[in-house]
Amino acid sequence: MPLLTIHHKTEYRYAHPVAFGEHRIMLRPRDTHDLRVLAYDLEIEPQPMQLRWIHDVFGNSVAIAIFDERAETLTFTSTATVEHNPAEEYALTPDDPAYFYPFLYDDEEFPDLVQFITPQYGDPQGELSAWARNFLDAEGPTPTFKILSGMTHGIREAFTYRKRHEQGTQHPLDTLQTRSGTCRDYALFMIEALRRLGIAARFVSGYLFIPGDRAHGYKGGGSTHAWVQVYLPSAGWIEFDPTNGIVGTRDLVRVAVARDPRQAIPLHGCYLGSADAFAGMEVSINVVSADHVVEA
């Protein structure tokens, strides 16, 4: 499945015309050696007075829209066609410096990794640290990949996926205590657990391609998604998806990377009007192989 087309539409509805504040859109896939954007289009209705593109501190593509008219609906339609060439699952060899845990990061790389090694959320009773240490062998060093794979599959098997209507991502301790959450909750939980072991990890948002899936009403199968990237010496950034138990980039289309989920929100903005003016929001996502697009 080298070619994928991603159609993402979000529509906000209001009881009467309202004004709109600045909106930040983070929906364009992230160009890398294994993911190439062949075409991209962003349609906004009503058209913004100004639309400009920037790269944020992590190099993600962000569109910033500024409006000068009122409306009862605000619609964002993002369409991307990408060439997706996921690499084979990376396997560390005994010659790799990070084959066993604990390992050391290179002195030249460490200053750039500090922000991804330092925990961002509190763990006053050490519960999160204790959970992370469960994946270490009792005697002798532990193969690093065993830790990473164990956490990835451990969360998938022991936790229950639960949709939440609250905004934002829940605290990692809430995820641990309830053993439930969304993909963003799982990703943040695993990131914080790894950071307590001194392993650099960061948050990834993007799309999940589900071949042939019809369960969620998507024509080609797919949804927005979140997972984890881990940095290992000589291996670089490697993907781990604790929601689906995926190691590597199979079926994962990267859009943004960040230190914290709050820095990788797909669509963020506000309207100017009364609180009861908001009537609802509808999101539709379709991730299909290019062959299916042609046949349709």
pLDDT in tens, 15-41: 999 999 999 999 999 999 999 999 999
Three-class DSSP category at 141: coil
Cβ distance 192 to 228 under 8 Å? Answer: no
Asked if residue 95 is part of any domain, the answer here is no
Alpha carbon distance 169, 225 (integer Å): 13
How confident is residue 2, by pLDDT bands cut at 50, 70 and 90?
A: confident
Alpha carbon distance 47, 265 (integer Å): 21
Asked if residue 91 is part of any domain, the answer here is no
User: 175 with 282, same domain?
Assistant: no
Angle at 106 between CA 105 and CA 109, to 5 degrees: 95
Asked if residue 162 is part of any domain, the answer here is yes
**At 39, which CATH number?**
2.60.40.2250
* Token pair recorded at residue 51: 């639309």
Asked if residue 195 is part of any domain, the answer here is yes
**Mean pLDDT of all residues in 70-81:** 97
pLDDT tens for residues 233-266?
Answer: 989 999 999 999 989 888 899 999 999 999 999 9
* Residue-number span of the structural domain to which 241 is assigned: 100-209+217-263
Got the DSSP string for 222-266? EEEEEEEEEEETTTEEEEEETTTTEESSTTEEEEEEESSGGG--S
Asked if residue 69 is part of any domain, the answer here is yes
Alpha carbon distance 232, 227 (integer Å): 17
Asked if residue 253 is part of any domain, the answer here is yes
Three-class DSSP category at 214: coil
- Preceding omega of 102 cis (within 30 degrees of 0): yes
Q: Say what the pTM is.
A: 0.92
Q: What is residue 163's predicted lDDT score, i.e. its pLDDT?
A: 83
Alpha carbon distance 128, 173 (integer Å): 7
Asked if residue 120 is part of any domain, the answer here is yes
Specify the residue for token string 């991307």.
Answer: 80
Q: How many helical (H) and strand (E) elements, i.e. helices and strands, does the chain have?
A: 6, 18
**At 238, which CATH number?**
3.10.620.30
Q: What is residue 152's predicted lDDT score, i.e. its pLDDT?
A: 96
Q: Is the dihedral of CA 78, 79, 82, 88 positive or negative?
A: positive
**Mean pLDDT of all residues in 181-191:** 97
CA nearest neighbour of 202 among 258, 121, 118: 258
User: 21 with 133, same domain?
Assistant: no
User: 232 with 124, same domain?
Assistant: yes
Q: What is residue 218's predicted lDDT score, i.e. its pLDDT?
A: 40
Cβ distance 182 to 164 under 8 Å? Answer: yes
Q: What is residue 294's predicted lDDT score, i.e. its pLDDT?
A: 40
User: 28 with 135, same domain?
Assistant: no
User: 120 with 249, same domain?
Assistant: yes
User: 48 with 113, same domain?
Assistant: no
**Mean pLDDT estimate for the chain:** 92
pLDDT of 175 over the 70 cut: yes
User: 49 with 161, same domain?
Assistant: no
Q: What is residue 216's predicted lDDT score, i.e. its pLDDT?
A: 41
pLDDT of 231 over the 80 cut: yes
User: 192 with 287, same domain?
Assistant: no
Q: What is residue 222's predicted lDDT score, i.e. its pLDDT?
A: 77
User: 167 with 203, same domain?
Assistant: yes
Alpha carbon distance 138, 3 (integer Å): 45
**Mean pLDDT of all residues in 265-294:** 87
User: 75 with 115, same domain?
Assistant: no
**Mean pLDDT of all residues in 112-135:** 97
Asked if residue 92 is part of any domain, the answer here is no
User: 231 with 166, same domain?
Assistant: yes
By percentage, how much of the chain surpasses pLDDT 90? 80
By percentage, how much of the chain surpasses pLDDT 70? 93
pLDDT tens for residues 42-68?
Answer: 999 999 999 999 999 999 999 999 999
pLDDT tens for residues 205-227?
Answer: 999 998 764 444 444 567 899 99
Three-class DSSP category at 89: coil
How many distinct structural domains can be found in the chain?
A: 2
How confident is residue 139, by pLDDT bands cut at 50, 70 and 90?
A: confident
User: 139 with 74, same domain?
Assistant: no
pLDDT of 204 over the 90 cut: yes
How confident is residue 9, by pLDDT bands cut at 50, 70 and 90?
A: very high
